[in-house]
């Protein structure tokens, strides 16, 4: 396939933005269906509120940034602001809204949902110029804002999540990894895979997420490179940590980290965002490596048991550097492969010795 010249969002094949956005919404159906099955009306209400907030503010922002035609009647002038408004101006905020709803708890207060959705679409997108111009993932911006501003709402039984869980099953292994073997008694690997665990509405069922991933890959509406790079890098680094922390349970430790929290959802539906991810093939391999490495470092050494949204936003800042024309290329060269392996090896050593390896 040859890359085609066009404005962002960048698509690496000759299909419309509309079709790609529609594919993402279809891929989200299994995740949304599971969230509704598990959390009922709470999930439906928060999805709808997120949709109304983001689509409505996107439409308002569109009108503000487009000059009206000259006309005697105000209604004619108002309508003229939307003469270039298209289905893409509905689909893109709809995707961000659904993803945002899937990465929050089912009992998050309604006003917090509105605040997070509004902050994500306005600060994360509209202030950068709107459709195709944002450098940060919109859903992640909204999620991080309410996590920092309203952090107490993400713990405690009043939102249906165990205080000890820290928001997800990952909270049970925060104390230096010492509680991991016991964590298997609370949440088995099978339960993690099926979704019978605490956490955000759309992040807990790995099987539903994988169904969406399969659809996106079959339709070629998501790039496998960034997915594969993130998953492989994460498995390598977290396995190295497991070799030191739990040498008798390395496989279980790796799978626990892989399936718990928002990693799988982020890999499938967030880092594959065509607007905020690199446009070149080597760049996407590097981007996946960067996101996964940051997630591992945050989970092992940071103050939070999760880390996907933080890692994603931090990696978003490096995308313009990765895509810088002076050194970016669409070809996978031997030098890049060597450099890629060296970077993984370096961070592998950082992780292994950071958790006390060889001590």
Closest CA to 193 of 255, 105, 124: 255
Residue 6, C-beta contacts closer than 8 angstroms, at least 6 positions apart? none
Region of 302 (left: φ > 0; alpha: ψ -120 to 50; beta: rest) is: beta
pLDDT number for residue 230:
96
Q: Three-state SS for 49? A: helix
* Average pLDDT, integer, range 205-233: 94
Q: Give whole-number Cα distances, 317 to 143, 209, 287, 293, 312, in Å.
A: 17, 26, 11, 15, 9
Residue 126's Cβ-side half-sphere holds a number of Cα atoms within 13 Å equal to 23
Give the tens place of pLDDT for each residue, 146-198: 988 876 655 543 333 333 334 466 665 654 444 666 677 777 788 888 887 77
Going by pLDDT thresholds of 50, 70 and 90, the confidence category of residue 320 is: confident
- What is the C-alpha separation between 27 and 264, in angstroms, rounded? 14
- What is the C-alpha separation between 31 and 209, in angstroms, rounded? 6
What are the phi and psi torsion angles at 26 (to 5°)? -65, -40
pLDDT number for residue 87:
86
| For the chain, domain boundaries | 13-161+199-222, 224-359
pLDDT number for residue 65:
80
**Portion of the chain with pLDDT greater than 70, in percent:** 84
Closest CA to 58 of 132, 146, 148: 132
Give the tens place of pLDDT for each residue, 323-354: 876 666 778 888 889 999 999 999 999 998 98
pLDDT number for residue 332:
83
Work out the angle at residue 14's Cα, subtended by the Cα atoms of residues 19 and 220, and round it to the nearest 5 degrees. Answer: 60
pLDDT number for residue 165:
33
């Amino acid at each position: 396939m040859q890359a085609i010249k066009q404005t962002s969002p960048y698509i690496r094949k000759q299909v419309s933005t509309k079709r790609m956005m529609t594919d993402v919404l279809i891929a989200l159906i299994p995740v949304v269906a599971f969230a509704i099955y598990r959390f009922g009306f709470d999930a439906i209400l928060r999805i709808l509120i997120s949709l109304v907030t983001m689509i409505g503010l996107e439409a308002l922002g569109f009108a503000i940034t487009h000059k009206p035609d000259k006309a005697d009647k105000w209604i004619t002038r108002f309508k003229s602001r939307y003469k270039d408004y298209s289905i893409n101006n509905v689909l893109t905020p709809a995707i961000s809204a659904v993803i945002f709803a899937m990465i929050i708890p089912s009992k998050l207060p309604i006003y917090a949902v509105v605040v997070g959705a509004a902050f994500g679409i306005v600060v994360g997108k509209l202030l950068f110029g709107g459709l195709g111009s944002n450098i940060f993932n919109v859903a992640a911006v909204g999620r991080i804002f309410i996590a920092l501003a309203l952090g107490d709402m993400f713990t405690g039984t009043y939102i249906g999540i165990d205080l000890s869980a820290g928001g997800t099953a990952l909270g049970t292994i925060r104390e230096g990894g010492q509680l991991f073997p016991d964590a298997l008694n609370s949440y088995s690997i099978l339960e993690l895979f099926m979704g019978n665990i605490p956490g955000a509405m759309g992040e807990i069922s790995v099987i539903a997420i994988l169904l969406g991933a399969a659809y996106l890959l079959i339709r070629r509406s998501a790039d496998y490179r960034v997915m594969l790079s993130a998953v492989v890098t994460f498995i390598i680094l977290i396995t190295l940590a497991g070799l030191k922390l739990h040498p008798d349970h390395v496989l279980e430790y790796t799978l626990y980290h892989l399936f718990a929290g928002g990693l799988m959802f982020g890999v499938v539906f967030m880092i594959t965002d065509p607007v905020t991810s690199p446009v070149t093939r080597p760049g996407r391999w590097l981007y996946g490596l960067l996101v996964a490495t940051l997630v591992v470092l945050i989970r092992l050494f940071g103050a939070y048991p999760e880390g996907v949204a933080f890692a994603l936003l931090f990696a978003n800042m490096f995308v313009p550097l990765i895509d810088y024309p002076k050194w970016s290329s669409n070809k996978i060269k031997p030098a890049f492969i060597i450099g890629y392996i060296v970077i993984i090896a370096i961070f592998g050593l950082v992780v292994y010795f950071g958790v006390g390896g060889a001590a």
